[in-house]
Amino acid sequence: MKRLVLIAALLLAGLAQAEVRPYVAGSLKEIESEHRGQPFILTFWSATCTHCPTELKALGELLRQHPKLNLVIVATDTPAEAPELQRLAQSYGLGEQTQWVFADAQPERLRYEIDRRWYGELPRTYFYDRQHRRDSRSGAVPVEQLERWAGEHVK
């Protein structure tokens, strides 16, 4: 009986993970449309990025403090790495968030569509207000700045 309960719990835990969607040309417009009229954070990261764990852990903690926070995470890795990306996101407390992964043979095209001034440095975070004016940051965003933004935009 204990074994059946354990198996059921593991299955439910697996269902709690969000699928990893392919990020292709036009995905930014789709993400913005899904969050029309809502403030949200869009963050780009990679499994091999040195500073991304700090950023993602801080975002996971922010999400625990502000459960209504709209957060979208996009890995700049490849779709083949999706299981590892899901595992990492889960370990940072972000397993239930909308997750995307670059799915274009030329990631430069995707970066250019996202932001012509972004050259691939990670993590890269965009803060969208309710009118979808956005502010961008490269590198790990200080926790105080994340908390201040959430305090102003998450109700």
Average pLDDT, the chain: 90
Question: pLDDT of 116-133, one tens digit each?
Answer: 999 999 999 999 999 999
Count of Cβ atoms closer than 10 Å to residue 140 Cβ: 20
Work out the pLDDT band at 152, boundaries 50, 70, 90: very high
Which residue, 68, 84, 90, is CA-closest to 15?
90
Find tokens 């852990």 and name the residue. 57
Q: d(Cα 37, Cα 138) in Å, to the nearest integer?
A: 25
The pLDDT assigned to 13 comes to 40
Confidence at 17, pLDDT banded by 50, 70, 90: low
Q: What's the pLDDT at 8? A: 35
Grouping H, G, I as helix, E, B as strand and the rest as coil, residue 106 is coil
pTM score, two decimals?
0.87
Q: What is the mean pLDDT of residues 48-70?
A: 96
Provide the pLDDT for residue 155.
Answer: 83
CA 77 to CA 101: how far, in whole Å?
6
- For range 15-24, the mean pLDDT: 77
> Tell me, what's the pLDDT at 6?
33
> Is it the case that residue 1 has pLDDT exceeding 90?
no
Provide the percentage of residues in the chain whose pLDDT is more than 90.
86
Output 119 or 13, whichever has higher pLDDT: 119
pLDDT value at position 19? 85
Q: Can you name the CATH fold of 19-153?
A: Glutaredoxin (3.40.30)
Q: What residue type is assigned to position 120 of the chain?
A: G
- When pLDDT is averaged across residues 94-119 and rounded to a whole number, the result is 95
